[in-house]
Amino acid sequence: MTTLNQQPLLRELIDIPEGMSDSDFVLKLAEGVTDAEATLRDYVITDDLVDNFRQALNLIKAAVTGQSSKAAYLHGSFGAGKSHFMAVLYALLRGEEAARRRDEFAELLAEHDWLTGKRFLLVPFHMLDAKSLEHRVLGRYIDYVRGLKAEDIPKPPTGSMPIPAVHRTDSLLAQARRLRDQIGDEAFINGLPGDEEPDEWGDTSAFWTAEKLNTAFAGSYLDESDADEHQPVVLTEEDALRRKLVNDLLQSWNEGFFSNAKEDAGAFVSLAPGLHEISRHAKDLGYDGLILFLDELILWLANSVGNSQFVAREVQKITNFVESGDATRPIPVISFIARQRDLRELVGAQETSAVELGFQDTLDLAKGRFETIPLEDRNLPVIAQTRLLSPLNDDAAVQIARAFDRTSQVRSEVWDTLLGSSSATGADIGAFRKTYPFSPAFMDTLVHISSALQRSRTALKLMRRILIRRRDDLRLGQLIPLGDLYNVITEGGDEPFTQKLKVEFDAAQKLYNAKLRPHLLEQHGEVAPVQ
């Protein structure tokens, strides 16, 4: 009988590199949408994920055909692929060849042939470090559309890109009034963009006149700080001229206003009228719908749970993505919001602070208005098999299959323990075969711990790191013990998901280093050093 020491090292049968970088298995949405080939190259598309994409496309279709704004949570644990999902959906909606040539999408795209000829303005957002929802959503929209190429716009503007009226511009117009008084109407108008309009004989003259300036300065569109954001937007002639004046000032006399606004959380109108305005702006550019990809929004709020006033203010705005008093957005706004697990799934309701529960309860109120697209953990075995555990050749596949068959002959109580009690990742023999030498019980624990403790410690990264640490001693026939998770979980400087978990984790580290590890050394003589 072949002894374990005579078995080949696992690195001889699957690819286990000598090291890895922090960027492995991590996709940043902003980068993922700019390189469809790279985004799709390693993307594993399971049947469940095809259904997820079907749900997303159905949502978009309902919004476009019904001319109503929609929103959906992309719900899953850290590492479930929410950012990757949004980047691939972005590629599908743009008609990128890298997405359309994937066989897994053939049937789905045939179902949604209505997409042909539709043009969507797709805007990705990364919410971490945002000062407010308006600051990031409205400010990022302006930066994004100003960077669009003319060939990517259905109806490109004849001159410079018009600026949507989403800034609070009372102070800007006050400065403009003072400048007008100082230099006079003629010089002031000459400094504005050179738009011209023909008269009844076809002769052209500058758009702006002293009379139009007076009317524009009298408008108040979107600028009242105490305006009811749930009231319909009504655009008067004065408001329309004011909007054009603001647009022209931002491209001439007050061009530096953008730099100041980027640093000012209060520089923008409230979210509901702001969404109406960017909807109008996108329609004017020829788009059929405005699709917002909001990555890390819920995590951004969760990271601020210590500032209850800030969280209470911002979380109440989320429903504005789908509803407001203004039911006549020029084109629908469709929002996809990445959402991590409910805190109560991670640590239990009894262990979650009152502030955190209040935050979660407020989010739950929006469930009836938002669809949920669940990115299930049961996709993980297939993804892990493809990206981490694929045999190097046919002979290696045969050897691994035989080793798994021997493992499956263990006593029933041992087998039941290896399968675990949770079905989150598909705890059956098929899932075990895909993730061998990681057991289903290991995988369930891995998902739960990585979700609870580390934002960047995704399941695939932790699995790869364990394989690297065991590269020189892990042999075919061995299973990865659950204890191997401890050291890789503690590596790096990421913070646990909540402050309560941070305190408990710090206590666990002290217990291990001060008592448990010395006891193991005393009992067994040799333990792999903590790295």
For residue 152, the number of C-alpha atoms closer than 13 Å in the C-beta half-sphere is: 13
Per DSSP, the three-state class of 361 is: helix
CA of 27: how far to CAs of 19, 94, 398, 457, in Å?
19, 19, 33, 13
CA of 499: how far to CAs of 194, 251, 287, 298, 492, in Å?
56, 45, 44, 16, 17
Residues of the chain with pLDDT under 50: 1, 199-204, 223-230, 232, 325, 343, 346-351, 454, 527-531
Per DSSP, the three-state class of 174 is: helix
Torsion angle, alpha carbons of 179, 142, 115, 60, to 10: -110
Q: Say if residues 267 and 319 touch (Cβ distance below 8 Å).
A: no
Q: What is the pLDDT of residues 132-144, one digit of tens each?
A: 899 899 989 998 9
For CA atoms 51, 56, 61, 66, the dihedral sign is positive
Question: What's the pLDDT at 248?
Answer: 85
Question: What's the pLDDT at 459?
Answer: 80
Kindly state the DSSP code that residue 301 receives in the 8-state scheme.
H
Per DSSP, the three-state class of 14 is: strand
Question: What's the pLDDT at 330?
Answer: 92
Q: Say if residues 26 and 39 touch (Cβ distance below 8 Å).
A: no
Per DSSP, what are the bridge partners of residue 487?
Answer: none
Q: What is the H or E stretch that residue 334 is in? A: strand 333-339
Kindly state the DSSP code that residue 408 receives in the 8-state scheme.
T
